[in-house]
Structure 1
């Protein structure tokens, strides 16, 4: 049976050891192992190793390498069980071996889907202001069970959801300052629901933001859109031009009263001349 004839420390990685055996023809390289495996097997010069032992140790070392890589993968942020399994699959770790590593990580409290879900909810609501419906969808995609999702979403009470929806809507509505009230509200509502806020919460947030909008907010947008419409349709005769401008402005969410008020002002200023 081969016996260990020499043990050396790897030059590029001090945490790994080269094992040599003597099969009757002097030192012959057999394998390289991590410090953990070295300690586990208590390698020493003169120790006998069967060929089956060598094969088994090599397999253990491959698995240990995968475990160390997975630990590094987990060091950047918390991961779900599904994410870790996919990572190990990408590292070409077999299904049975991956399960063994997964159990080991759970025993070390390094993998916990419920704790992951709770932390995920806190991060998404505090830093990205996402709504709970979108967060729930993202957790599901990460392989979290519905039971753990429901538990984690308790970290997101309704009053906080409304607060985040209002902040999100307030910030976003400036993007729609060229739109009429009706269209701006519709776009804001759609945007909030895409961000994962419920229909009821989204409506409350939009109403709250609308109440704080300056009185001249829509008028400024109407003036800008009106100027654009005049240039767009100036080639038409007065009656058709006016009808096209009104339709254009109405489609952008401006109210009929606001449009008529703007038209009267433009007529007075001579910006919309009548046909001779």
Structure 2
């Protein structure tokens, strides 16, 4: 039966130990274990090990290495229980070992889905300014339960959602400065909805935001679009051409008064 002849500390990896066994007349390196396995299994020089003992020690060490990896994985940021399970499956840890490890991580307070949810909501709410619908979607993707999500989302009041959405509208409006006021409002609403806010919040935010109106820029916009439409329908009779241009510009959010003003200006300039 193989006997432990020597135990040496690994030089490159702290907390790891090399086990050497006597086989026949010689001595050879057999396997390595963590300090936890070394202590818990009472591995000392002179201890006899069967083939089954060696196999079990290797299995325990594999689990211990996986535990160290998952602890490192958790050290970067909080994770949901499902994320931890997926990570362990990627490491090809056996199902029964995953169950035991997750239970132990819960006992050590390393994983707690409710606490994870609440921290996740605060971060996405305060740092990224994401809307509640997008945050909920991301939490579902992380495998968190509906109950945990609903509890955590109580931190994100409608008042705060509206405050964030309104600020984003005011900041984003410059991206649409060449659009008509109506078109600008539509695009701003779409932007807020895409950020994960409900339609009702997006609508209120656009109403409350101080959207700058620049008559000169709006005239440049209607002039640019009007010229485009005027060329597009140049083969039509004048009456039909004007109607088509009106429809085109109205569809882009310009008011009837502004459209009539542009057509009148266009006709005068072409005379």
CA RMSD of aligned residues (A): 2.1
Contact 2:10 2:16 in 1 (8 A): yes
Cα distance in structure 2, aligned partners of 1:124 and 1:147: 19
Aligned twin of 2:213: 214
2:85 corresponds to 1:104 = no
Cα distance in structure 2, aligned partners of 1:257 and 1:5: 97
Aligned twin of 1:225: 225
- Taking the TM superposition and a 5 Å limit, the aligned residue runs for 1:30-49 are 30-49=30-49
- Taking the TM superposition and a 5 Å limit, the aligned residue runs for 1:33-112 are 33-112=33-112
For these two proteins, the number of residue pairs brought into alignment is 270
Cα distance in structure 2, aligned partners of 1:228 and 1:70: 61
5+ residue gaps, structure 2: none
Contact 2:4 2:49 in 1 (8 A): yes
State which drifts further: 227-236 or 147-156.
Answer: 227-236
Cα distance in structure 2, aligned partners of 1:8 and 1:266: 92
Residue-by-residue CA offset, 1:104-151 (whole Å, 9 max, x unaligned): 221221111111111111111112211111111111111111111111
Cα distance in structure 2, aligned partners of 1:251 and 1:132: 32
- How does the TM-score come out when normalised to structure 1? 0.88
Aligned twin of 1:124: 124
Q: Measure how far apart 1:215 and its partner are.
A: 4.9
Matched residue SS, 1:5 = strand
- Taking the TM superposition and a 5 Å limit, the aligned residue runs for 1:242-253 are 242-253=242-253
Q: Measure how far apart 1:234 and its partner are.
A: 4.7
Cα distance in structure 1, aligned partners of 2:128 and 2:232: 40
Contact 2:181 2:213 in 1 (8 A): no
Contact 1:222 1:249 in 2 (8 A): yes
Aligned twin of 1:198: 198
Cα distance in structure 1, aligned partners of 2:220 and 2:126: 34
- How does the TM-score come out when normalised to structure 2? 0.90
Matched residue SS, 1:196 = coil
